[in-house]
């Protein structure tokens, strides 16, 4: 993916993005569990403490496995080798997902998600993207968190989700978000915005801050996520 160096004031980001502790490590946003090898060059990274960096790992593995199982309808049909390895090496996780699987009267396969774990990961990713793109630390509680299958959205909702909003306000000077705006083509004073594709079919996102800050992500071309701070 195309990457750029940030020229934002370094004082905007102080300490671990998640807890404000000492930054003795860096965290990939997104975590590599959501990506396939070979990994893209220039993966986004943000400052984090070792404790926070490791604390999300199990939930991220759960979400990655849940998405792949939901896409195929069965753990036996999972396509990504990485996810097959995780399920093989984590029998407890495989058992939880097996118990979460059900078949409706119409034959539709469902997986009952552990929503608190999914929300934990989505919020972590959104905070990481806000920090990386706009040098914003969003440790406070968001006003809105949404995650749903792309295929559960009706056509109008899908189009709304897929179309990045336009804005008239530049992000913080020197941030990656501002640099991305510079290379976009402004039209009548409206600043363009587009999805940032980390890896095709695996992960894309965008961040916008005009009034409320919004982060949207699509994981595995299956899970549509949106986090908003503000009203």
Question: pLDDT digit string (tens) for 179-211?
Answer: 565 555 555 444 557 898 999 999 999 998 877
Provide φ and ψ at 104, rounded to 5°: -75, 170
- Model confidence at 65: pLDDT above 80: yes
- How large is the C-alpha radius of gyration of the chain? 18
Q: Does 191 fall in a domain?
A: yes
Structural domain total, the chain: 1
Q: Does 20 fall in a domain?
A: yes
- Model confidence at 67: pLDDT above 50: yes
- The H or E element spanning position 197 is strand 196-199
Over the stretch 75-131, which tens digit does the pLDDT of each residue have? 889 999 999 999 999 999 999 999 999 999 999 999 999 999 999 999 999 999 999
Q: Does 105 fall in a domain?
A: no
Per-residue confidence at 4, pLDDT binned at 50, 70, 90?
low
Q: Which domain holds residue 191?
A: 14-56+115-229
Q: Does 169 fall in a domain?
A: yes
Per-residue confidence at 215, pLDDT binned at 50, 70, 90?
very high
Q: Does 167 fall in a domain?
A: yes
- What pTM was computed for the model? 0.87
**Residue 192: CB atoms within 10 Å:** 14
Query: How many whole angstroms from its chain centre is CA 217?
Result: 5
| Residue 173, CA distances (Å) to 12, 41, 76 in order | 11, 25, 49
Q: Does 199 fall in a domain?
A: yes
Buried b (16+ CB within 10 A) or exposed e, 148-159: eebeeeeeeeee
Per-residue confidence at 9, pLDDT binned at 50, 70, 90?
very low
- Mean per-residue pLDDT of the chain: 86
- Please answer whether residues 19 and 49 qualify as being in contact, where contact means their C-beta atoms are separated by less than 8 angstroms: yes
The tally of CA atoms less than 13 A away on the side-chain side of residue 222 is: 14
């Amino acid at each position: 993916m195309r990457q750029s160096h940030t020229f934002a004031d370094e004082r905007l980001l102080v300490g671990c993005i998640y807890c404000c502790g000492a930054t003795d490590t860096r965290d990939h946003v997104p975590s590599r569990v959501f990506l396939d090898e070979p990994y893209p060059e220039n993966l986004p990274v943000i400052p984090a403490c070792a404790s926070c960096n490791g604390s999300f790992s199990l939930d991220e593995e759960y979400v990655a496995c849940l998405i792949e199982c939901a896409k195929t309808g069965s753990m036996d049909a999972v396509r990504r080798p990485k996810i097959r390895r995780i399920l093989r090496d984590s029998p407890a996780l495989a058992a939880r997902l097996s118990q979460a699987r059900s078949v409706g009267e119409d034959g539709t396969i469902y997986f009952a998600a552990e929503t608190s774990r999914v929300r934990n990961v989505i919020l972590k990713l959104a905070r990481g993207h806000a920090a990386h793109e706009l040098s914003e630390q969003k440790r406070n509680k968001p006003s809105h968190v949404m995650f749903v299958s792309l295929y559960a959205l009706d056509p109008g909702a899908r189009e709304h989700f897929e179309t990045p909003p336009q804005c008239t306000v530049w992000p913080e000077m020197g941030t990656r978000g501002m640099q991305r705006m510079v290379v976009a083509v402004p039209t009548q004073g409206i600043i363009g915005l587009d999805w940032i594709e980390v890896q095709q079919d695996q992960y894309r996102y965008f961040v916008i801050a005009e009034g409320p800050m919004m982060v949207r992500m699509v994981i595995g071309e299956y899970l549509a996520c949106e986090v908003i701070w503000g009203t």
